[in-house]
Structure 1
Amino acid sequence: MNFAGQVVWITGASSGIGEALARAFAAAGARLVLSSRRTEELERVRRTCARPEEHLVLALDLAQPATFPALTAEVLARCGRIDVLVNNGGVSQRARAIDASFATERALMDVNYFGPVALTKAVLPSMLARRSGQVVVVSSVMGYVGTPGRSTYAAAKHALHGYFDSLRTEVWREGIHVMIACPGYVNTAVTDNALGPTGEKRGRREGTHIRGIAPEKCAAAIVRGVWRRRNEVHVGGWEVLGIYLQRYVPWLYARVVRKIRFSVDDAP
């Protein structure tokens, strides 16, 4: 795989899958634009990447879409173009639907759905003008299934699939490719940072994620999918089978998922 000369903009690049993606794309020759809210952590990630002096750190808050046109203009001014936009930033959830405040649900949708959509809309005109580019969306197995404690998170991921599957059909003739990545359990801080009923952070990692695949393995599969211009990539362990159970044997999936117990007080 060779991304030499390509500009890759990654959101949520300060940790987890985004951090691993940054190192993987840099190792493949790409020039990076690293974004999240945490500038200090982005600088740390930049320094760990191959050719750190080539990469740009750009603070971005996915809940502030009004800032995206100016940020996109800054990237284009400093880098000349955007070859690959990786919509990776997001936040998970751990709350029963009946307990989740509407404000928290709206915040989850703003970050996980409206943020990637708004950033894509800011970047897309420059790709269309060049008739070249790739848009990557890091979704989740939850983009296909629903499990207890993740109702709004699952809704946002389902929405991403509908939007970006449709976008793919609109822009392929213009030389733009859209890929959706669906990780399962990855050993990152996603559950530590997951929002509870009133927006509080869960503050601990769940056993399913501790036992999940390494973020580097997930990133390698995503980068490989971008290189091969795949429409969709599924990566993880046994939990990825849920996608196929839901699709082909929905009655069996329903029986399995009913056995899952959830409480915000559950131990990892």
Structure 2
Amino acid sequence: MARRALLAVTAAAAATAVLLGVPGGAAADGPGATGVGLLPDVVEEVPSHLQVQNTQQREWLRFTTVHINIGVGNLQVRGGGQVEPCEIDGESYPQCTVATQEILDAQGDVVQTRPAGVAVFHPEHNHWHQSTVAEFAVRSALDGPSLVDGAKITFCFVDVEFTGATGSLKKEQPRTYWECNGDLQGLASGWADSYHQSTPLQELDVTGLPAGTYYLTHLADPDDHWLESNEDNNFTWVRFRLSRKGANPEVTVLDSSPCVPQVICGFGGNP
């Protein structure tokens, strides 16, 4: 989980940019930049597969999420090379490296870079994650505060399924990003990456939450690490009823955010 991921346990978000030699929050032209950068646009599928799981006397709302790049450019993130300890939301990790978003042109050349947080080796998933990819919360109203401890989540980015074709054409599309390493990760244009509800950290603690109607919200890139063509389509939600009539809580999905674009509703399914 990540709120601010900083090398050497620094306290300011701008430290990442300083390590990269770039002013905090500003984009910098890459050397020899001549092409026009093609920007990604990462949207989030409406959370699915909601279920309450009882573990060690705690109740966890589990759910599946899918990231989909509908932009004309790839989301490409490169590690900084040096590996040092870091702290993420009070939790220490022994292996971290600064991350940089690389904007590519039509020829695949890097024409712009942007500080993109930190890449961290995640012990539960046994691979490298990008910091602060998503933020989950449970609310009684969309504009209300989180009723449980909200979580900023780290993720690995790889091309899992192509969204721009069907049938045999879908299977013939070559993947650009396929490894969760600390050097290079990404989500190519037209591709989706999914995290099933059984994956560690796809959960929120709802122990003791009264029966009622709630919203599970999913915000992508909450710390604005990525430069995208559209920064206004990173939020999805699902409204659900939590019932406590039996021994185990039950979840019934009632409604969700609009399916715009259509691909954000029901694309991922069970992997």
Task: Check whether TM > 0.5.
Answer: no
Based on CA coordinates, which of the two structures has the bigger radius of gyration? 2
Higher strand share: 2
TM-score category of the 2 structures, normalised to the smaller one: under 0.3
Tell me the TM-score normalized by structure 1: 0.23
Tell me the TM-score normalized by structure 2: 0.23
Higher helix share: 1
